[in-house]
Structure 1
Amino acid sequence: MDYKKCLDIIHWINPSNLKLLNIIDNTDKFRELCNAHSLWKNKQLPHGIPSLPVIDANGWCGPLLMESRLKGSILNIDLASGFSILRCESEGKDFIANNRDFSGGIARYNTGDNVTFDPNSPTTGPLPVAKSIRL
């Protein structure tokens, strides 16, 4: 019943979200993990569990996190305008960056330096925006 309540809330927020849950086979996975046998089996703790090390949140979730930063290089640094151009390695696209968004200050960077950056929301300009640029 709790699962049904969750689905009802998801439907109230946006009915299209239920389509996404269907695409990722969420209901099948839920049925697989939350049947009586699986719940019983998961409650049966082996005798050695107390001696196992505790896993912290970073160790538990770290391998599951998706890397959102992109790698690229600096094509142009324009001190007069206050903007620079970066080329993304994986996408082959150019990004514009405000010189204030370079970690440690723009003076630390040179044309050709390899950097990482966070892509930002689309803008009204011709190029996507790079934020939080680091060596």
Structure 2
Amino acid sequence: LSVIDNDKLMGIACSKHTLWRSKMLASGLPSVPDITEWKERHEINTRRQGEVVSVTADYAIIRCKKSHLVFYTNKSMQKRRKAWPLTVGIDVTFIPKPAPVQGNRPNATQVKQ
């Protein structure tokens, strides 16, 4: 019975009137005004502020000022070459990412001084 019901519904969905009505939905799109400020109003800032608490040649540890969580970062996680090397005690901003392996520290990417 469900096959028969599905066949009936498919017939309705593929009727000429239904297809015509579906095509008409997009007819008014060019007249919809563009909202240029839409991105700025709806963008969520995911950057966090932190302080570099430990540095070696290969990696750095950053403590988030808001949550006091500790984040791991290294040179390969940075898009900008100016971000490395980091020094202990400086304030930075970063984008947090979850730890790749459970039990490890979360990562700090795109660090800016």
Matched residue count:
77
Decide whether the 8 Å contact of 1:100 with 1:106 is kept in 2: no
The residue correspondences of 1:26-37 to structure 2 (distance < 5 A) are: none
CA RMSD of aligned residues (A): 1.9
Q: Which has the higher helix share?
A: 1
Q: Which residue of 1 aligns with 2:29?
A: none
Q: Which residue of 2 aligns with 1:62?
A: 40
Q: Which residue of 1 aligns with 2:99?
A: 122
Letter of the structure 2 residue corresponding to residue 83 of structure 1: Y
Q: Which has the higher strand share?
A: 2
The higher relative CO (CA closer than 8 Å, separation ≥ 6) is in 2
The residue correspondences of 1:16-95 to structure 2 (distance < 5 A) are: 56=36, 59-79=37-57, 82-95=58-71
Report Cα offsets for 1:67-99 as digits up to 9, x if no partner: 1111101111111xx111000111110000013
Compare CA radii of gyration and give the structure with the larger one: 2
TM-score norm. by structure 2 comes to 0.59
| Unmatched tracts of structure 1, length 5 or more | 1-53
Report Cα offsets for 1:26-76 as digits up to 9, x if no partner: xxxxxxxxxxxxxxxxxxxxxxxxxxxx752xx222022111111101111
Report Cα offsets for 1:94-129 as digits up to 9, x if no partner: 00001333431423x311111111111322243111
Q: Secondary structure at the match of 1:61?
A: helix
Aligned residues with identical type, % of pairs = 22
Q: Secondary structure at the match of 1:96?
A: strand
Q: Secondary structure at the match of 1:72?
A: strand
